[in-house]
A and B are shown apart, each in its own frame.
Chain A
């Protein structure tokens, strides 16, 4: 038995200008040829008439043949562009099936691309993410990952680790062969460099995972500092509300906003003060602390006309000095400090800009990544830190080797995992049909 040929609509269901049906597999070309005539020249769009088996003309459309291996899946692929009618699309798919294709499973085209080494796993994940992206920022970041930038970072890091391992392993296995000390020292430097690189990649992956999952910004401050007013002001500013109040608890209100192209969930919390009046307020403050745990960034809102302080927070923080319209002169702000008037809508642009900088969404291109990637990178970082520390103390070269191997394996899991579980099934089932 050879590989089956699969068929599925590649465009969204429903009515529209054009719909695309994709066929992939060894019989893609013969099947398509019986549907819409000769396909001699690959990679060239050609006008065609789509005919049923009974010889009835179904539609006039365009067809393109991608010859293996230069296609999305790496197999022979044909794409049929017909008019955008769901009944017609169903008919064409059924015609394909009657000629020996079978309907593709969700994500099967991309799975084949992965299995045929056209893309690696991180790229396959990016395909799903690009399709699912809800904001322009997420879409662009997913595209960056899909184009292989994330994977090539990971792969070049693996290559350097292998290069360092060669020296370490050689000096373990050939103690009498005069492995030059210089080479080993170079390997040591190499490992250190990799450590820096993995740290950066981890930070970028953290950010990438947050672009996918959404950032959490928590607003805290003393009671009546104007926290809720700030939340409303942000929500009413020229920003789209992507989802309405979600998970409203008694005292914590979350609003998802599209901030500079990414999803940011702002959470308003109960005011913090030293001696709560009653149990309800105490419970509210407990929840505030719980929200803080999860936060990627904290806005500390103060009433600039009052002298109040709250306990320091061990998180990335922006100090927001509210109600500055009540002062005759706006004071100069320090770093990570911004003066606003939530009520009058003053200084909100500065605040948004500062928030984006603090979330790491400044100028540089972002890559989209997943929690899975972050976990692998963290594992790698731990092993690599261990390797560097052992190496620098001149202890146990065999343990350095051990740690380097673990580091390499952790990275490998991102692009080409040796999966003993159903990781692949899980990832490819996320796709809607037709990709």
Chain B
């Protein structure tokens, strides 16, 4: 019988991060997937990053994760969203070649020491005395697992819908995991159904590209990973844009009776932030046009992913709606779009370590927890893999704070609040947006990663180089000055309109909104873009960062006020029954976490605080 310290089920974005992280930390690890060749598959759109998501991808990268490294090996079109806004909300998005991405992930997995990949379907989990023992595969093999990480994505009880037709499956061409879903439904965990969808894929030679408006990638081309270099990227291509029109919307309205969403066949909640085109047309009926990005699936692929028209209408309706769009008049659908319904477990059943509350040694990560998006999945996979391993070593779990990382915000939101619709990350979910930026994920996390044994040599080298360069430049900017009426002052005024009446240090000048690092004299040769971003952000946001740090310190007091597990909320004087029930269910571990529960009022927190104080006094005396 095979025996592993860490077993990860699932080879998607969560699974590969979980397995690789555990293996990096030295655990004897196994990744089980039903299809080895589809490890690292991008099931939906061929892009990584975007607002809030690139923050997650970079945080995973800063802890030695795979996602950003692979994305740079496969990235064929890069943009920085919000580039006209400040650093805190800028976000890199990469269009990737699906094949290259999968190959890059598979290469990283194959090269990873301590990691074994097994091709099998898992049908049962053996749990004894509320602790995971082993798993059983469809071939009847038993594999002993000290710790088990489940990253089954949309495969649990997956049902695909196209029009009124439906068939079981986790993704086109892949079966769903029905037996495992049945097994998991027997655990005392809150189970629910969610749905998501995907657009039809078009043949690139049947699109009239001259009618679409090109959208070139950004120059200079950014990178997603802190360790990548320009040589890692393949050839860059353009993306194109077109729009839906009144005719398209008319076709959609006329077919709603054949839509599984609108005829009531699908019960699961869909993502509000990534709606199907049917949803958009119904909910935003005042708009008579929505944009579509025509994204290539790969350099050598014939498929085009029309981002913006995810649909589960019947095939014929999909054809009509596609052909009503400018440039798509002759387009051939290679694969129709579909909606997929799947099981998820409301993550309130998890601890902050992502271990289930009911079963020791069982961890959940990714879409099984109700999230949507590759980056959200990768972030959870990484943390689940780390914490499963830490628990194996009898160490405290890694729990990142809401002020430390978007990963912390993600997990705290999920575990504390749960979710009823697919959860995706946004910058507005973070209270400390100015501190947690794309440019400083490594500054925030890499040293932690080193302590845990997660960080590879190349990442450590890139990190120390950047840190050293940023520090040296900041010291220089503090020292060097521009004097009025000099050549340097005139050049600055020409470029930025900023006038100088007294001598100013470069740092003082950089504080001015219109002055960028590139405008300052004596630029350090070869300094990396992410070091420059870090310098600019830390100077420009200085005042705000100070304020946020004060807030964090205050909050930390509440975060540090632990609520003992023994608290009986029935005994807290003054709490309403509703709040008592909420707190009893959620059992938050600190006052700060209690305060983030919906419906728990500030007044209730005060009462709780008084109660805890009294209890402490009582115990002390």
Contact, CB under 8 Å: A416 / B603: yes
Chain A residues with CB under 8 A of B81 = 175-176
Q: Which of A166-186 contact B (CB under 8 A)?
A: 169, 172-176, 178
Chain B residues with CB under 8 A of A356 = none
Complex Cα–Cα for A176 and B215 (A)? 13
Chain A residues with CB under 8 A of B544 = 399, 402
Complex Cα–Cα for A176 and B49 (A)? 14
Contact, CB under 8 Å: A114 / B89: no
Task: Write the A404-435 contact mask toward B (1 if CB under 8 angstroms, else 0).
Answer: 00100000000011111000110000000000
Contact, CB under 8 Å: A172 / B607: no
Asked whether any CB of chain A lies closer than 8 Å to the CB of B82, the reply is yes
Task: Write the A339-379 contact mask toward B (1 if CB under 8 angstroms, else 0).
Answer: 00000000000000000000000000000000000000000
Complex Cα–Cα for A406 and B544 (A)? 11
Contact, CB under 8 Å: A175 / B82: yes
Contact, CB under 8 Å: A402 / B433: yes
A393-B513, A424-B606 known; A169 vs B86 contact (CB < 8 Å): no
Chain A residues with CB under 8 A of B540 = 396
Contact, CB under 8 Å: A398 / B89: yes
A173-B428, A174-B51, A398-B88 known; A4 vs B602 contact (CB < 8 Å): no
Contact, CB under 8 Å: B433 / A398: yes
Separation in Å of the B552 CB from the closest CB of chain A?
Answer: 13
A115-B607, A399-B544, A402-B433 known; A172 vs B89 contact (CB < 8 Å): yes
Chain B residues with CB under 8 A of A419 = 602, 605-606
Asked whether any CB of chain A lies closer than 8 Å to the CB of B502, the reply is no
Contact, CB under 8 Å: A116 / B51: no
Task: Write the B345-363 contact mask toward A (1 if CB under 8 angstroms, else 0).
Answer: 0000000000000000000
Complex Cα–Cα for A216 and B499 (A)? 46
Contact, CB under 8 Å: A420 / B554: yes
Chain B residues with CB under 8 A of A174 = 51
Separation in Å of the B466 CB from the closest CB of chain A?
Answer: 23
Asked whether any CB of chain B lies closer than 8 Å to the CB of A326, the reply is no
Q: Which of A116-153 contact B (CB under 8 A)?
A: 116-117
Segment among B18-26, B57-65, B137-145, B567-575 that sits at the interface with chain A: B567-575
Separation in Å of the A409 CB from the closest CB of chain B?
Answer: 9
Asked whether any CB of chain B lies closer than 8 Å to the CB of A40, the reply is no
Contact, CB under 8 Å: B602 / A418: yes
In the complex, the chain B residue whose C-beta lies closest to that of A176 is B81
Q: Which of B565-608 contact A (CB under 8 A)?
A: 570-571, 573-574, 576, 595, 601-607
Asked whether any CB of chain B lies closer than 8 Å to the CB of A162, the reply is no
Give the A interface residue count (CB, 8 A): 32
Separation in Å of the B79 CB from the closest CB of chain A?
Answer: 9
Asked whether any CB of chain A lies closer than 8 Å to the CB of B434, the reply is yes
Asked whether any CB of chain A lies closer than 8 Å to the CB of B558, the reply is yes
Asked whether any CB of chain A lies closer than 8 Å to the CB of B52, the reply is yes
Most buried by B among A3, A178, A417, A420: A420
Contact, CB under 8 Å: A172 / B82: yes
Contact, CB under 8 Å: B89 / A116: no
Contact, CB under 8 Å: A420 / B557: yes
Chain B residues with CB under 8 A of A424 = 603, 606
Separation in Å of the B199 CB from the closest CB of chain A?
Answer: 16
Complex Cα–Cα for A172 and B609 (A)? 36
A116-B576, A169-B428 known; A398 vs B51 contact (CB < 8 Å): no
Asked whether any CB of chain A lies closer than 8 Å to the CB of B85, the reply is yes
Task: Write the B73-90 contact mask toward A (1 if CB under 8 angstroms, else 0).
Answer: 000000001100110110
Separation in Å of the B440 CB from the closest CB of chain A?
Answer: 15
Number of A-B residue pairs with CB-CB distance less than 8 Å in the complex they form? 79
Asked whether any CB of chain A lies closer than 8 Å to the CB of B426, the reply is yes
Complex Cα–Cα for A174 and B89 (A)? 11
Q: Which of A100-120 contact B (CB under 8 A)?
A: 111-112, 114-117
Asked whether any CB of chain B lies closer than 8 Å to the CB of A327, the reply is no
Separation in Å of the B218 CB from the closest CB of chain A?
Answer: 13
Most buried by A among B291, B601, B606: B606
Chain B residues with CB under 8 A of A396 = 85-86, 513, 540
Contact, CB under 8 Å: B603 / A115: yes
Contact, CB under 8 Å: A420 / B513: no
Asked whether any CB of chain A lies closer than 8 Å to the CB of B427, the reply is yes
Contact, CB under 8 Å: B89 / A3: no
Chain A residues with CB under 8 A of B557 = 420
Chain B residues with CB under 8 A of A114 = 603
In the complex, the chain A residue whose C-beta lies closest to that of B88 is A398
Contact, CB under 8 Å: A112 / B426: no
Contact, CB under 8 Å: A1 / B571: yes
Separation in Å of the B202 CB from the closest CB of chain A?
Answer: 20
Task: Write the B553-565 contact mask toward A (1 if CB under 8 angstroms, else 0).
Answer: 0100110000000
Complex Cα–Cα for A36 and B426 (A)? 61
Complex Cα–Cα for A424 and B601 (A)? 14
Complex Cα–Cα for A377 and B558 (A)? 25
Task: Write the B227-267 contact mask toward A (1 if CB under 8 angstroms, else 0).
Answer: 00000000000000000000000000000000000000000
Contact, CB under 8 Å: A398 / B595: no
Complex Cα–Cα for A112 and B603 (A)? 10
Most buried by B among A117, A173, A395, A397: A173
Known interface pairs A173-B52, A399-B86; 19 further A-B residue pairs with C-beta atoms within 8 A, sorted by A's residue number: A1-B571, A3-B574, A111-B574, A115-B603, A115-B604, A116-B576, A172-B51, A172-B82, A172-B85, A172-B89, A173-B427, A173-B428, A175-B51, A396-B513, A398-B89, A401-B428, A401-B433, A418-B605, A425-B610
Query: 10 closest A-B pairs (Cβ-Cβ)?
Result: A418-B602, A169-B428, A173-B426, A395-B513, A396-B86, A398-B86, A398-B89, A398-B88, A172-B89, A175-B81
Could you list 28 A-B pairs, sorted by A, with CB under 8 Å? A3-B573, A3-B574, A4-B573, A115-B603, A115-B604, A116-B576, A117-B601, A172-B85, A172-B428, A173-B89, A173-B427, A174-B51, A175-B81, A396-B85, A396-B540, A398-B86, A398-B89, A399-B86, A399-B541, A401-B433, A402-B434, A416-B601, A418-B602, A419-B605, A419-B606, A420-B554, A424-B606, A425-B610
A-binding residues in B (CB < 8 A): 51-52, 81-82, 85-86, 88-89, 291, 426-428, 433-434, 513, 540-541, 544, 547, 554, 557-558, 570-571, 573-574, 576, 595, 601-607, 609-610
B-binding residues in A (CB < 8 A): 1, 3-4, 111-112, 114-117, 169, 172-176, 178, 393, 395-399, 401-402, 406, 416-420, 424-425
